[in-house]
Chains A and B, each alone.
Chain A
Amino acid sequence: MTADSPDPAHARTPPDPPASAGTPESPGPAATPGSGGAPHPSAAGPAPAATRRRSPGRVAFALLLPGLLALLLTYALPLVWVLRMSLNEAEDGGVIRQTLSVATFTHVLGSSHYWNVIGQTLELGVLVTLCTLVVSYPVALFLARTTSRWRSLLVALAVAPLLISSVARTFGWMAILGTQGVVNKTLDGLGLTDTPLHLANNLTGVVIASTEIYMPFAILAMISGFGRLDPALEHAAAALGAPRRTVFRRIVLPLTLPGVLTAALLVFVLSLSGYVTPRLIGGGRVFVLATEIYDEAITALNWPVAAVLSVLLLAVFGVVISLYLWAQKALEARFTGPGEARS
């Protein structure tokens, strides 16, 4: 250890006040042996320095290689295969004609049925995202702010539904929302309704069930995105004269927006590709891209159309993620970006 250049900041440190009278060892230079001059770069010795000189990029690449290979096999290759398939044409009886044409694309894009499917997929995505955010935000805000010692347990509870398969949870919602379900039986029993409410086999039911199913994801995403929320900021705002509502509007909401945005992206994307809930609760009346792709590929054996729909779904994802990145950047600029001149 280099002891020749004692750090001036340490040398001038006044003795700890409470220890001044009692302890015989005065906190002299000997008390801080390791804190003298900064370690010299060359002190590391030649051997480790040589190791470090080996390009860190190559090491990183070697570490990434298994993951990259796995992605290539399970993601990139199938994607190429889907793209290739979308350029084929289908004939009656499940025969696929190998071509390189956009005929299937023109067929799909020229059909109002498929446009309806795309529209309903987006509508479902937007509705589910809005509902999930509204229900999850208060829960996430509470969990992020509470100082209770039960906090970890409560977070675990909020996420616990993920332990149950979404198929099982969807069946649960069918039992609740169906014509003979809990809700309708109760309303009927109370004499509040004559005819059962249509809560299942339509978009309403799918939105309700999906909201519950995606809540844990939204809550997790929000909690991890609420990092900037410091109780001292709320105290400062209150001390400056802000009533609670204003503190929420001016401080809490803007600071939690990045977390909300991440949750929104997650839920929207999950809901766009969701298959189980629209299929089971939709009762064959809710057509979204995921169910449509399944039907084309498995029932109609029309793989080219299924591939085209998959490509369209990917395109929607691309647009959504671009929007998210743009919004994220805009938000980030408000925190750190170059301050614009104030008017």
Chain B
Amino acid sequence: MADAPARTPSAPAAPAGDTPSPEGSAAHLVLDGLVKTYPGKDGAAVRGVDLAVERGRMLAVLGPSGCGKSTTLRMIAGLVEPTAGRVRVGGRDITDAPVHRRDMGVVFQSYALFPHLDVARNVAFGLEMRKTPKADLKRKVAEALELVRLGHLAGRRIAQLSGGQQQRVALARALVVEPAVLLLDEPLSNLDAQLRAAMRDEICRIQRETGVTTVFVTHDQQEALSMADRVAVMNHGRIEQTGSPEDIYERPARSFVARFVGRANLLPGTAEGQDGDHTLVALDGLGRVPAAGEPVARGGTATVMLRPHRIALSPAAGGTGAVRGTVLSAGYAGETVAYRVRVGDDGPLLDVERPTGTQEPFGPGAEVELTWDHAAPRLVSDEDGDSEGSR
């Protein structure tokens, strides 16, 4: 929108009121210990969520279906009343403010466009509620539709739009009022695969252009990793880990995160001491493996994560000391081959993923040597989110 350049994502101006976050930057949206227990249900849907989103940034809440993502989003929007906890925007506590005074732009999973109004009047709705003067209103509606590239469809009925177009109208309707925060609930889940990729870029572009602080919820790890500045992985009503997409993928703190974001071999073992900033872990069949990550005391149980694509395979040579294995199956998938490899004679099963075209694929029964670089094994904690507060 041409008239909203005040918020630039690159230089968050941190106006008075934003809560200083530990990293020293300003958090625009802060969730503080949010809990939701639905009446008549035992167990809370959301069990203490703390999150902070910097002004102008995009946070993805990623988690399996039913983990409480929508409930969290609805508590921010004011559509669900929290059982406990606070919601702050720009330093102002809005926990008790009614929905219509919150100044949130919400895009619903079903889009929730008004079927009895045309595209332009859908977009104008929020401005009408704000008593925007007529001339301004027309200009802003036109600009918002231009932003989502739907200017030519202003007079269309909702029933006459495709799914992708409805999605854009929903975005324009939420953004035209220049909300404090944009909330998106599974914004791409109702689109087919091709359109999903296009809208993913589109949402990122729009978010960058408007610089609106954004929270979106998804169960799709690729969506979360590729779109968001920060990702919060959620499970059973708690945040398991918050970090940059690289953090989440390369340095998962818990086995749940490692498993849910990407594919992972998770190998149980025993810590045998430190080697620099690596912990030496004795793994069944693999010997002593140095792994990076939160150190584990000597003698403690430790879980090592090894991403399938970080393991290299080579034909077994006579040498000793290398990890040897037998290929059980090889699944060709175009760009990669997915192997299952039995380590030793009765060692663990490992998933291995190799790019095609670099080496002759191995067939089932092939004897191979497995290698990985020093940084590949990571220690992950096995704790369930129950035993400890979430980060």
Per the 8 Å Cβ criterion, residues 298-343 of A in contact with B are 334-342
* Contact (Cβ within 8 A) A239 B261: no
Interface size on B, residues (CB 8 A): 57
Say how far B192's CB is from chain A's closest CB, in angstroms. Answer: 8
How distant is the Cα of A336 from the Cα of B66 in the complex, in angstroms? 35
Binds A, one of B41-49, B50-58, B113-121: B113-121
* Smallest CB gap from A250: residue in B: B125
The one of A243, A250, A334 in contact with B100, judged by C-beta atoms closer than 8 angstroms, is A243
* Contact (Cβ within 8 A) A240 B155: no
The one of A22, A246, A334 in contact with B129, judged by C-beta atoms closer than 8 angstroms, is A246
Binds A, one of B82-90, B102-110, B237-245, B383-391: B102-110
* Contact (Cβ within 8 A) B261 A241: no
B16 interfacial by beta-carbon distance below 8 Å: no
Say how far B140's CB is from chain A's closest CB, in angstroms. Answer: 13
Contacts A20-B259, A21-B351, A235-B79; A240 near B173 (Cβ below 8 A): yes
Say how far A231's CB is from chain B's closest CB, in angstroms. Answer: 9
B154 interfacial by beta-carbon distance below 8 Å: yes
Interface residues of A toward B: which range?
A: 35 or more
Interface string of B147-170 (1 = CB under 8 A from A): 000000011110110000000000
A40 interfacial by beta-carbon distance below 8 Å: no
Which of A20, A24, A242, A336 has the most C-beta atoms of chain B within 10 angstroms of its own C-beta? A20
* Smallest CB gap from A241: residue in B: B129
* Contact (Cβ within 8 A) B263 A334: no
B363 interfacial by beta-carbon distance below 8 Å: no
Interface string of B253-281 (1 = CB under 8 A from A): 00000111111111000000000000000
B234 interfacial by beta-carbon distance below 8 Å: no
A67 interfacial by beta-carbon distance below 8 Å: no
* Contact (Cβ within 8 A) A337 B114: no
Binds B, one of A7-15, A113-121, A202-210: A7-15
* Contact (Cβ within 8 A) A335 B99: no
A255 interfacial by beta-carbon distance below 8 Å: yes
Say how far B386's CB is from chain A's closest CB, in angstroms. Answer: 18
Contacts A228-B115, A335-B159; A18 near B129 (Cβ below 8 A): no
A236 interfacial by beta-carbon distance below 8 Å: yes
Contacts A12-B193, A17-B221; A238 near B99 (Cβ below 8 A): yes
* Contact (Cβ within 8 A) A339 B115: no
Chain B residues, Cβ within 8 Å of A340: 155
* Smallest CB gap from B125: residue in A: A240
* Contact (Cβ within 8 A) A242 B156: no
Chain A residues, Cβ within 8 Å of B69: none
How distant is the Cα of A305 from the Cα of B160 in the complex, in angstroms? 53
The one of B108, B130, B351 in contact with A236, judged by C-beta atoms closer than 8 angstroms, is B108
* Contact (Cβ within 8 A) B260 A17: yes
The one of B64, B104, B258, B262 in contact with A239, judged by C-beta atoms closer than 8 angstroms, is B104
A26 interfacial by beta-carbon distance below 8 Å: yes
How distant is the Cα of A232 from the Cα of B185 in the complex, in angstroms? 12
How distant is the Cα of A192 from the Cα of B283 in the complex, in angstroms? 92
Chain B residues, Cβ within 8 Å of A342: 118, 120-121, 154-155
Say how far B72's CB is from chain A's closest CB, in angstroms. Answer: 15
How distant is the Cα of A20 from the Cα of B126 in the complex, in angstroms? 43
A73 interfacial by beta-carbon distance below 8 Å: no
How distant is the Cα of A17 from the Cα of B64 in the complex, in angstroms? 9
How distant is the Cα of A18 from the Cα of B260 in the complex, in angstroms? 5
A-side residues, CB < 8 A to B, are 9, 12, 14-15, 17-18, 20-22, 24, 26, 28, 228, 230, 232-233, 235-243, 246, 250-251, 254-255, 334-342
**What are 29 A-B contacts defined by CB distance under 8 Å?**
A14-B222, A17-B259, A18-B64, A21-B266, A22-B259, A24-B349, A26-B329, A26-B338, A26-B340, A233-B114, A235-B106, A235-B108, A235-B112, A236-B112, A236-B173, A239-B100, A239-B106, A240-B125, A241-B100, A241-B103, A241-B126, A241-B130, A242-B129, A251-B114, A334-B116, A338-B157, A339-B119, A339-B157, A341-B155
B-side residues, CB < 8 A to A, are 64, 77-79, 98-106, 108, 110, 112-116, 118-121, 125-126, 129-130, 154-157, 159-160, 173-174, 177, 192-193, 221-222, 258-266, 329, 331, 333, 338, 340, 349, 351
